[in-house]
Amino acid sequence: MRLVFMGSPDLAAVILKMLYENGCEIVGVVTGTDKSRGRKSTLIPTEVGKLAQELGLPLLKTPRVRRPEDLAWIREKNADAVIVAAFGQLLPAELLKMTKFGCINVHASLLPAYRGAAPIQWSVLDGKTQTGVTIMQMDEGLDTGDILSQTVVPVDEEDTSGTLFEKMAEAGGKLLLETLPAIANGTVKPIKQPAESTTPYAGRITKEMGRIDWSRPAHRIGPWIRGMNPWPCAYTYLDGKILKIWKASVREDAAERKNSGAEPGTILSAGKEGIEVQTGSGTILLTEVQLEGKKRMNAADFLRGYRIRSDRLGMHG
């Protein structure tokens, strides 16, 4: 089967590499344009773009795949199917119908749950204990096409969005390789999705979403911190400076502490174990932090070199 691959971030690059290493015929790769980074505005290619160049695959970088010249480039590849993984652009109807087997999407959730751009992050943010990957026949809706195959991926208590990305990429590539032969020989059995999703829309994560609302209960703040790792990273304010929270744990006795009388965000203790903070219900222990302008470190080391002046987190200025 001749394949055109479309994707941009590292998750998609892992899947592309697995296809290549397993002998799939990749006749073209489509990815986003290079992004300007740093003070010198250096142009940095996407992870898929870098990998395609390393493998010597025909590569198209485009800001918007609806352009006539881009569609012509894809058509000229005479592919049997288009594989899409974390591409980040809506595909035009013309492209959906361009190849024999259409556009096959690797979606990082168990559809119809978590339709949208950030299903992996939201499964962690919501405190889910499992998620999964869906291989889907794309249609003109947003993640609404027929389900071709699915696999479950557990979400461990210590999983961050970063570690779950790695697990999902591996699972997605493996499932795709298992499903492609069934698509090619016509034995795959598509399953229609229900019209409504079983979860809220998994919208894009923004930097502003990283700010911790200490009035929320501890059992909701814990997953939020893990879900924001590695980007944009959960944060609060300490002595008027941004304090990033890389790791934290909900205290086992949090329920007993929920009526301590302290205001949410109050620092209850700071020592070898970390920084214990009152939330709207229960307490949470910050164990790895990074103060504005400083390096990331465990909370005990941070406290040895920094004297906390305020008794409450979250106060800006």
- Interhelix angle for 10-21 vs 47-55, to 10°? 20
Instruction: Say if residue 258's pLDDT is above 70.
Output: no
pLDDT tens-digit readout, 300-316: 999 999 999 999 998 77
Q: In this structure, what DSSP letter does residue 204 have?
A: P
- Two tokens, residue 205: 């994560």
Domains and CATH numbers, the chain: 2-185 (3.40.50.170), 207-305 (3.10.25.10)
pLDDT tens-digit readout, 154-182: 999 999 999 999 999 999 999 999 999 99
- Two tokens, residue 188: 């795959």
| Cα 166 from Cα 94, distance rounded (Å) | 32
Torsion of CA 63, 67, 70, 72, to 10 degrees: 180
Instruction: Say if residue 100's pLDDT is above 70.
Output: yes
Cβ–Cβ under 8 Å, residues 79 and 6: no
Name the burial class of residue 132, with classes exposed (0-12), middle (13-18) and buried (19+) by CB atoms within 10 angstroms of its CB: buried
| Cα 61 from Cα 150, distance rounded (Å) | 30
Mean of the per-residue pLDDT values for the chain?
A: 94
pLDDT tens-digit readout, 26-67: 999 999 999 888 777 788 999 999 999 999 999 999 999 999
Instruction: Say if residue 260's pLDDT is above 70.
Output: no
- Two tokens, residue 143: 């993640």
| pTM attached to this predicted model | 0.93
- If you average pLDDT over residues 66-84, what whole number do you get? 97
Cβ–Cβ under 8 Å, residues 196 and 114: no
> Could you give the angle at the alpha carbon of 211 between the alpha carbons of 204 and 263, nearest 5°?
145
The predicted pLDDT at position 254 comes to 47
- Interhelix angle for 10-21 vs 161-185, to 10°? 40
pLDDT range class, residue 256, cuts 50, 70, 90: low
Kindly report the length of the chain.
317
pLDDT tens-digit readout, 215-231: 999 999 999 999 999 99
| Cα 65 from Cα 30, distance rounded (Å) | 9
* pLDDT above 90: percentage of residues in the chain: 91
| Cα 43 from Cα 36, distance rounded (Å) | 4
Cβ–Cβ under 8 Å, residues 313 and 243: yes
